[in-house]
Amino acid sequence: MPEFLVTGASGMLGRSWTRLLETRGIDHLGASRAELDVTKKDAIERLLVPGTKWVINCAAWTDVDGAESHPEDANAVNGLAVRRIADRCLRVGAKLVHYSTDYVFDGKQSSPYRVDHSRAPINAYGRSKAKGEELLEQSGLEHLLIRSSWLYAPWGKNFVLTMRNLVRTRSHLRVVDDQRGRPSSCDHIAEATLGLIQKDCVGTYHVCDGGECTWFDLASLVRDVVNPDCAIDACKSEEFPRPAPRPAYSVLDLTETEQVLGPTSDWMHRVTRMLELLEGERRIRGG
Ligand SMILES: NC(=O)c1ccc[n+]([C@@H]2O[C@H](COP(=O)([O-])OP(=O)(O)OC[C@H]3O[C@@H](n4cnc5c(N)ncnc54)[C@H](OP(=O)(O)O)[C@@H]3O)[C@@H](O)[C@H]2O)c1
């Protein structure tokens, strides 16, 4: 039986996890939604069997705006399914890594949110993720609850890749500068989580890149690496009304994680390295 079961394995973070486990030669099963729908009890029982040591739950409803009109669907995946997975883990003797979000906080702080800060989500997605956190804590299962924010990877749907495409095809962009957070490399999240597992950590940890920025800062860095000729102006969130409100400040405090794993390298370094690799590959392909 594989030691690790990764749910949501075809998602952004799930792909980083299965790649990491492959690279490290760790026996694992990566299950996509089609193979393991976490809202289905029988699917969980079929794949989460005795012998599994860790479940890495990367499955999630991540459509933040869509959650406003489909809160029950978001709750089913981000809330109720977490408890179901936790209960099954208790039954088969597995431990659980579950991922959550900066959006469980209200965004009213002006200093980083500590791991034990009270949850006060301001949108339906945040409420569904907060529910998942509560249900996991109530389950009595030994677990790692990892909060992260502003995920990016060389694959999937994320802000860095969206901006990479836009700065290449447009001469001028406007990007909001009134939301502040910490970008997070999916490869780093997977590696840091494995580091925490290997150090026998349990409880709640925050894992993000170091440093903090606004979406405008992040877009400007992408522009600097990919196409310095594209102009970017800062604007305010109210100019881009969206169904779900976003927290204005959602920087996650990394103290506990850095005590275990040491200092985290900053977002500028990681984003630049990823983009340089992608641009290098594009040039080789002649794109
Ligand atoms: N993305 C961010 O900026 C961000 C920020 C903070 C925290 N997080 C958290 O980080 C974790 C990973 O997010 P991500 O960015 O990797 O998300 P993602 O790319 O959207 O991946 C989520 C995966 O879950 C799958 N999924 C959805 N419903 C499922 C179900 N019922 N059963 C099984 N799988 C299901 C999706 O499959 P389909 O594609 O087939 O639907 C997708 O493969 C999540 O817990 C998320 O809440 C993300």
What distance in angstroms lies between residue 61's CA and the mean position of ligand 1's atoms?
6
d(CA 32, CA 14): 9
Position 194 confidence tier, pLDDT thresholds 50, 70, 90? very high
Both structure tokens of 134: 């509560």
Indicate which CATH number applies to the domain containing 117.
3.40.50.720
- Tens of pLDDT, residues 36-69: 999 999 999 999 999 999 999 999 999 999 999 9
Question: What integer is the mean pLDDT of 130-148?
Answer: 98
**Which structural domain range is residue 93 located in?**
4-152+185-209+251-265
Position 177 scores a pLDDT of: 97
* Residue at 135 is within a domain: yes
Considering 113, 125, 152, 205, which one is annotated as catalytic?
A: 125
* Residue at 158 is within a domain: no
Residue with the smallest CA separation from ligand 1 atom 34 is 33
125 is catalytic: yes
Q: Exposure of 90 by Cβ count < 10 A (0-12 exposed, 13-18 middle, 19+ buried)? A: middle
What distance in angstroms lies between residue 35's CA and the mean position of ligand 1's atoms?
15
* Residue at 271 is within a domain: no
* Residue at 164 is within a domain: no
* Residue at 75 is within a domain: yes
Position 1 scores a pLDDT of: 76
CB contact set of 177 (below 8 Å; sequence gap of 6+): 214, 215, 216, 217, 234, 235, 236
pLDDT at position 211 over 90: yes
pLDDT at position 272 over 90: yes
CA nearest 114: which of 227, 274, 256? 256
What distance in angstroms lies between residue 110's CA and the mean position of ligand 1's atoms?
28
Position 234 scores a pLDDT of: 97
Q: What is the pTM of this model?
A: 0.98
Question: What integer is the mean pLDDT of 198-205?
Answer: 98
* Residue at 278 is within a domain: no
d(CA 61, CA 38): 11
Position 242 confidence tier, pLDDT thresholds 50, 70, 90? very high
- Tens of pLDDT, residues 96-120: 999 999 999 999 999 999 999 999 9
pLDDT at position 235 over 80: yes
CA 100 → CA 59, 83, 118, 165, 281, distances in Å? Answer: 11, 14, 14, 28, 32
* Residue at 60 is within a domain: yes
Burial 100-128 (b: 16+ CB within 10 A, else e): bbbbbbbbebeebbebeeebebbbbbbbb
Residue with the smallest CA separation from ligand 1 atom 38 is 33
Return mean pLDDT, the chain.
Answer: 97
Tally of domains in the chain? 1
Residue with the smallest CA separation from ligand 1 atom 40 is 33
Residues with CB under 6 A from ligand 1: 7-8, 10-14, 33, 36-39, 58-62, 77, 99, 101, 129, 148-151, 156
The values of phi and psi at residue 120, to 5°, are: -155, 70
The best mutation among 33, 129, 131 to test binding of ligand 1, ranked by most ligand atoms within 8 Å of the C-beta, falls on: 33
Position 266 scores a pLDDT of: 97
* Residue at 177 is within a domain: no
What distance in angstroms lies between residue 111's CA and the mean position of ligand 1's atoms?
27
CB contact set of 200 (below 8 Å; sequence gap of 6+): none
| DSSP class of 107 | S
Question: What integer is the mean pLDDT of 237-250?
Answer: 95
Position 285 confidence tier, pLDDT thresholds 50, 70, 90? confident
pLDDT at position 287 over 80: no
Q: How many percent of the chain have pLDDT more than 90?
A: 97
Question: What integer is the mean pLDDT of 196-201?
Answer: 98
pLDDT at position 88 over 80: yes
Position 219 scores a pLDDT of: 98
Using CA atoms of 129, 135, 140, 145 in order, give the dihedral in degrees to the nearest 10. 0
pLDDT at position 286 over 90: no
Index of the ligand 1 atom closest to the CA of residue 36: 33
What distance in angstroms lies between residue 11's CA and the mean position of ligand 1's atoms?
6
